[in-house]
Chain A
């Protein structure tokens, strides 16, 4: 158990809909990261937050947005869903969000868009 909690574990929805994925970081970690893993793209970095502020951005679509709340949990919002958004979405956390830190990953949310 990494200490990172992601909910829900599975999500099935239809094209055009909007969903919210939730992540609670390890106790004491201030930084969260979101990744997308699809069969053809591998693990793709989406975005990083540190203590409520955006720290780094990857190939995150404009239809996707994220935020980190004062209690440090984070949410990834996916809107106008397309079939190609079906993927595993992982959240990770680290203490300070710096380059010398280990990342701890949650068990992921499997999103299926039908």
Chain B
């Protein structure tokens, strides 16, 4: 699976959009980009995933560049409860294992 690079930490004002970047320059054609988050000491939680088109769900939007070498997770109106570690993970969809390999992630601090 391709390696990802994320900034270690970011701040965001409550009510503003949080834009979390991820670089995955070695991503291959059959690999998806997944985002999970972990709120303090809780189990990681699935947010969203995508292949090449932009995706949106009730939690967030995922913007993937045309060359697929980077992506941005957007939380449109961040709240204090969005303070968490956000993990960007690249994983092959044809793999016979569903394991996720977590990096260090980005610690997002939402401030009042």
Within the complex, the shortest CB–CB distance from B45 to chain A, in Å, comes to 7
B interface residue count range (under 10 / 10 to 19 / 20 to 34 / 35 or more): 20 to 34
Q: Find out whether the CB atom of B97 lies under 8 angstroms from the CB atom of A56.
A: yes
A48 pairs with B97, CB closer than 8 A: yes
A103 touches B42 (CB 8 A): no
Interface SS of B by simple majority: loop
Q: A56's closest neighbor in chain B, by CB?
A: B97
Question: Would you call A55 an interface residue if the criterion is a C-beta within 8 Å of the partner chain's C-beta atoms?
Answer: yes
A25 CB–B CB distance under 8 Å: no
Residue in B45, B94, B103 whose CB lies within 8 Å of A99: B94
- The one of B38, B43, B93, B97 in contact with A2, judged by C-beta atoms closer than 8 angstroms, is B43
CB of A97 within 8 A of CB of B43, answer no
CB distance from B34 to the nearest CB of A (A): 8
Q: Which chain B residues border A99 with CB–CB below 8 Å?
A: 91-98
Task: List residues 17-35 of chain A with CB under 8 A from any CB of chain B.
Answer: 31, 33, 35
Contact with B along A79-102 (1 / 0, CB 8 A): 000000000101010101111111
In B76-112, which residues have CB < 8 Å from any A CB? Answer: 87, 91-105
Q: What residues of A have a CB within 8 angstroms of the CB of B94 in the complex?
A: 99-100
B47-78 toward A: CB 8 Å interface, digit per residue (1/0)? 00100000000000000000000000000000
Docked CA distance A90–B45 (Å): 12
Interface residues of B (CB under 8 A from A): 32, 38, 41-46, 49, 87, 91-105
**Interfacial residues, chain A to chain B (CB-CB below 8 A):** 2, 4, 31, 33, 35, 42-45, 48, 55-56, 58, 88, 90, 92, 94, 96-108, 110
Instruction: For the A-B complex with A55-B96, A97-B96 known, give 11 more contacts whose Cβ atoms are closer than 8 Å.
Output: A2-B45, A42-B103, A48-B99, A56-B99, A58-B99, A97-B98, A99-B98, A100-B94, A103-B98, A107-B43, A110-B41
Q: Give 17 A-B contacts (CB < 8 Å), ordered by A residue.
A: A31-B98, A42-B102, A42-B104, A43-B87, A45-B102, A48-B99, A55-B97, A56-B97, A97-B97, A98-B97, A99-B93, A99-B94, A99-B95, A102-B46, A103-B100, A105-B44, A108-B43
